[in-house]
Every structure is written in C-alpha cells, then in structure tokens.
Amino acid sequence: MKYSDVLFFIKYPYASGIIATVWIGSTFMLFKSNTLEPLPVIIVNLAVTWLISWLSYRSK
C-alpha cells in the first residue's frame, strides 16, 4: 500500500476554516452567555462538523 492511498483528498479547502470558526465561535458564545448549556452546543458542533467533513473530504 502506498502512502498516497491512505491520504484524504480535499474537495473544498476552506472546510477546515469553517469547522474551526464554528468551534471557536461556539466557545466565545459559551463564555459570554450565562444561560447557555455546554452539552447541546457541543452536540450541535459535532453534528455540523461531521456534516461539513462528510461533504468536504473524500478518500481516494
């Protein structure tokens, strides 16, 4: 097996930036809000991250 066989190929290169922005923005939101629960925010972030990753990254 060659090294290039196990690498992921990026369809949309800005997807990593979008995922990072989602997590960083949610972190700031949690620090600013007194009433926001962390667990639902984390679950939504996980779902959004999975969806963006599924759409943006593909294996060869």
Quickly count: other Cβ atoms within 10 Å of residue 56's Cβ. Answer: 17
Question: Which structural domain range is residue 44 located in?
Answer: 3-59
For the residues 36-52, what does the mean pLDDT come to? Answer: 96
Q: What pLDDT does 53 receive?
A: 87
User: What is the model's pTM?
Assistant: 0.73
Residues 7-27: tens digit of each pLDDT: 556 666 788 889 999 999 999
Q: Are 55 and 13 in contact (CB under 8 A)?
A: no
pLDDT of 1 strictly over 60 = no
Task: Give the chain's domain count.
Answer: 1
Q: What pLDDT does 11 receive?
A: 64
